[in-house]
Chain A
């Protein structure tokens, strides 16, 4: 039950979204909607080769086109030492190449023109003389002796290995495996995929030569961090941080793809500084899919050890991470493989060891999340696939197997063998609820009967644990900047509020949910609260929105700042009521004298007094700021059950039912949480069944447009059945955990497990996602199904 009335609209109310008023009228303001007087256009020449030496770039034909103003090459940027830039993972990547290109669709030159179409004409007219070089697309082959060394720019680099990273007790894990009664091993590949927000990336860079001020409207999930990166990278050419303003306006979906700094942004900024004109750069979809950061591309080899009775004992994982030609992942700096070591999942292990090796190949740089907290989907997919394989191997029901191995509610806070401290959970509660909702026992019975008739039906479970809300400053930073986040609240004399945050919504609904947190804490109606984000000139510094961190960090900051305001409000109320502070009680919206509720002052009266009648010796005004450093991460979890029917003739998998029980702790807006889960499930379905980006042997991209990179439509998307349990986070001021990505993380394993469950009796142990009809059809034929 919400504590506040619907008119106040605090936590637990399904408040209709404030931001929708503009979106449903076509009045949003996205980056491509920004038009400035005198604005010019930037378009990019891209490489047709995956690896080639650049002999010559001839710009003369392009420059002869009326309206083409300039062509920028790597040589031009090299004069200012801007042709390379650092990545967030302390690697380097090219802005524009001087010597060679490293992947197909890499930026080669940029054309500036008076008009979008003329810029595209200019791109066609730039002539580049390439000399193809040997291409390395397979990260396993990239590590073999004699493989061409790709990063020849790094003087001492003799191979394509980027880094080795490991965690856990190797010796103890080996011992557990040596003594194990049962072990299983499986190679699992999670292919390259792309977030494909419906809005692509782009910017409008506007350098004001007179004042030396650079303003960039930019599709970014982390405007403040971007400002600092720009200042650090371009300080030597006179861009100083106080003269840089990043504005992240309405953002048409992010999902992790709008965290990195792409070359196009940097070239647009350089072009505006050079020309003194506003410069617009907007990617098209093919550029977005072919050149922007990919997600996943993890070659995982996992092993599980268990007792014969089904008690798990050990986990051993080795992974090759294909990062393309540069490690441009967007991870916290200390974690090159992100939070992959959450891969012990929801289970109580005695020992585990994980190692990951990063590798260079001739593919676009990256390694970002796909609506996921830093490699958590990879971890969940590995452990949930392995748990199913072990259960089947032991001839145990996969639900029973999980219930036997879950970390029990009384074990929280739980210290995992890989070093995490899980805050709270009730994994059995979520799984049992999902089993009840879907009618698990009856489905297993039906499956048995169908199997006798030769029909293929499968039931898949995924009982995932996430790790979100990065993060505590002790371990979490990006380029040294600690991963706190912020809220700044100002209460006006009439009791109305403006609140600004260091995060940036890309569809999550922050303008509504943050207002609800303030309404909950201050008792001020949600409609009297304006929330702003994304303008670095006005908002407090923060690390941005990704990895489900907004509620765990900035949401917490909102609560903490509100409580600072209430501390002062209490003093003002005591002054107005001529009472002792200690004798005052608070209920949402007012302080009153204990035992005498009629003697009260509302928050609006207190706000007015803060500017008109504040106590002597107290500063006027009513505002507060909080930079919240979370004491721990949060650990949302859930159990999903998927039922599939497989067509033996075509290999088509039909999802008959999908039940999702999520637990994200206390909920701010149930309507928004449910919407996030629907969307997350659909972005879990997508890589499980449809999406992948592959490369042929010479590095040509397969899946570089919506012609063959298949986003689910309303027709393929099942009717999701959602439910919840509620296990609050003990350390978050509101007991909330974050929810935006849970479903994307948990869903693929449920689908894959369901398909393998349908085929296990035929001898099938594993199918890599995406599970396409062709793959299933081939698998069936290989296992003797011919009808």
Chain B
């Protein structure tokens, strides 16, 4: 897997295709693992309704996830999504290419999902940002996306920055990320809505606290405009 990408814009909800060109599933969510050094690494694609339903919004998502788990009580692990290890991902284009055939591929983690170091991209997206005034971030900023870059030492990738801005519609359209003309009316409207969006590099001054449901950004963080 090469090149940097924005996970929500370029990876989430894309079609997964196996090594024979057969359709496998959608990227319903992405598993991120917090490393010992605090780095955030995409480790797997999460697949299935247990991964998809929570993304329907805080309240609706909870209700749907619970209902789905209860509909077939006798089955264990109804709430645990299947995983595709990120190492199996060969290339991300307008689809996600795997290096293996699809047969028998989708399985939940043997140990279940419960591990404190694993978080879902879907849970991270939309988290409110508590930012110091000195950062210049909009006071109603939320996490809109995460920027993933390859690590120089090999095939691994790591989350390098967060895209934060007021949670307004249109972030998935991509106009805030690129300056191509688009249909000018739509593109300009989306860019205007997202004029407060910024890229915040992960590192000193940025603290992601998923259990408490917020991201704290202090003045030490490096904040850059999104476009250009």
> A and B: real partners?
no
